[in-house]
Amino acid sequence: MADDIVIIVGSALVISGAISRSGITDVALRGLKPERRGPRTQLLILVAVVALLSAFVKNIGALAIMIPVAMQMARASNVSPSMFLMPMSFASLLGGLMTQIGTSPNIIVSRVREEITGAPFTMFDYTPAIVGLLFLVFCYKLLPARSSADRALHEAVAIKNYTTEAAVTEQTLAAAGSVGALQKFGSGNAMIIAIIGEGGNKRAPLPDNTLKLGDALLLEGEQEALDKIVSQGKLKLKAQGDAKPASTAETGAVEAIVGENSRLIGNSAKDLYLLHNAGLSVLALSRRGQRFVERLGDIKIRNGDVLVLQGHLKTLPDLLREWDCLPLVQRDVRLGSVRNGIVPIAILALAMAGTAFGGVPVAAAFFAAAFLIVVTGAMPLRDVYSYLDAPILIMLAALIPVSDALRTTGTTDVIAGLLSTTAAVLPPYGALALILIAAMAVTPFLNNAATVLVMAPIAATFADKLGFAPDAFLMAVAIGAGCDFLTPIGHQCNTLVMGPGGYRFGDYWRLGLPLSLLVIAVAVPMLLLVWSV
């Protein structure tokens, strides 16, 4: 569990979760306008951005930034995230191949070449990955549609048409001065159903109606869309009950169904003094098949209503039992929660800069970033465990000793000897393809850096025995070590998307095998052409 790969993946999951919570992805999505594009165009954008970022920064960092954006796009397009995430992981690996600093195999191979010839590879000597990226965009349908268990459970108990109330602030007027401009933040999944001015006068929520400071807005829609309108429109949520917990770090929200014997039935939030005494607030209410016209605090609660309640995390479970309210499946209820916007992005950028220019190990940099995210409040400590995908981390930790055993028992040496014997009777293109395939085959069991350390000397020896320059063979090792598309364990990027994408172990070869064959078919003639043997 102390292995660098486990620490990197675990930290990246926390970082990605914090970016998702921050709301910064919503800003990125508004610029991309995913609702105007088809899924294939969205996938093209995602793989291109991930590949470009991965060429210059650590590929797992680039992927961590873009996973929340992909999840948002998938929801907006009503497609499974599995359509986007594995192609993005593979794109991050291909992107890392494009420059000397993109991935550790390239750096190691460059060092080996310098030891052999006296000159390292330069920044852009490496084989382009454009063909592979195009394959990912057009052949994504090889993947089965998957949903993570959490996502499937969320959809099974999804609640529509929550009603909540919020007040217009000065920041709201700067962000959106009209009803129509404000509703755009909800992406069509939430709307303003009433405007209540001073003195209780109601105005029709026509799109061109101008908002005024202090207006109370009655909002209806999906919880996530309501959250976007409140947070991005800079509204002030008018919680009924005015709970004042000790600190925001101790505050949480929960969705609960009102039971038939609940003391809440027949009362409104304004009537319930027990809410004040318990430090609870009603953030929103949902009732199947009904649209409300009265203010949130005036709605009489009925049996079967779903309430979003905010309060002290330690007392919420006991209070729900006391009032005969059944909590729904736990999920991230963000309505009215405090988020720190740009902080997670800044922390991740600092970590990646440290690895690129400061010589900081990746594991240390990513762990420090996850730690800073918690310390700065960008993610509450209690939420960290919900983003750490324990089965994935345990699988990694269990298989790392298997990789070590292959090396320490001499298995890799036996394989190297067999390759050497076989390659001696092959033509140049056959020997080059064999080195490339061998590097691809070894990488899932060793990490990519170890693969290069094992295979690069073998490749250089091949070239010398066959009377060829070592460049093409060293490049083949770098490409093979960087193209682990067959399993979720060979590279941390593949592991990172396994949980959010709902993938199974055997899903990777569906897209990874044809992509690997394509890389071989393109790389071998390109290497022979560019690095003449």
pLDDT digits (tens, 9 = 90+) for 281-336: 788 888 876 777 778 878 888 888 888 887 777 777 778 878 888 777 544 555 65
| Span 177-196, pLDDT tens digits | 888 888 888 777 788 888 88
| pTM summary value | 0.57
Nearest-angstrom CA–CA distance, 530 and 476: 12
> Which whole number is the average pLDDT over 461-489?
80
Nearest-angstrom CA–CA distance, 134 and 188: 32
- The most confident of 15-24, 165-174, 331-340, by mean pLDDT: 165-174
Q: Determine contact, residues 140/41, Cβ cutoff 8 Å.
A: no
CA 462 to chain centre: 42
Q: Is the pLDDT of residue 209 over 70?
A: yes
Per-residue model confidence (pLDDT) at position 181: 86
Taken in order 148, 149, 155, 156, the sign of the CA dihedral is positive
Beta pairing partners, 282? 240, 309
- Phi/psi of residue 281, each to 5°? -130, 145
pLDDT band at 513, cuts 50/70/90? confident
- One DSSP character per residue, 197-253 reads -GGG-EE---TTPBP-TT-EEEEEE-HHHHHHHHHHTT-EE--BT----S-GGGEEE
Q: What percent of the chain has pLDDT over 70?
A: 71
Per-residue model confidence (pLDDT) at position 246: 44
Per-residue model confidence (pLDDT) at position 243: 47
Per-residue model confidence (pLDDT) at position 245: 45
| Span 343-401, pLDDT tens digits | 887 887 888 788 767 678 778 888 998 899 888 877 777 678 777 767 767 766 776 67
Mean model confidence pLDDT for the chain: 75
Nearest-angstrom CA–CA distance, 400 and 417: 24
Q: Determine contact, residues 286/159, Cβ cutoff 8 Å.
A: yes
129 or 84, which is more confident: 84
- One DSSP character per residue, 121-178 reads --TT-SPP-HHHHHHHHHSGGGSPP---HHHHHHHHT----EEEEEE--HHHHHH--B
Beta pairing partners, 285? 163, 307
- One DSSP character per residue, 468-501 reads --SHHHHHHHHHHHH---S-SSSSHHHHHHHHHH
CA 320 to chain centre: 33
pLDDT band at 152, cuts 50/70/90? very low
pLDDT band at 33, cuts 50/70/90? low
The number of beta carbons lying within 10 Å of the beta carbon of residue 347 is 23
Per-residue model confidence (pLDDT) at position 371: 92
State the pairing for strand pair 236-237/281-286: unpaired
Beta pairing partners, 210? 178
Nearest-angstrom CA–CA distance, 435 and 447: 17
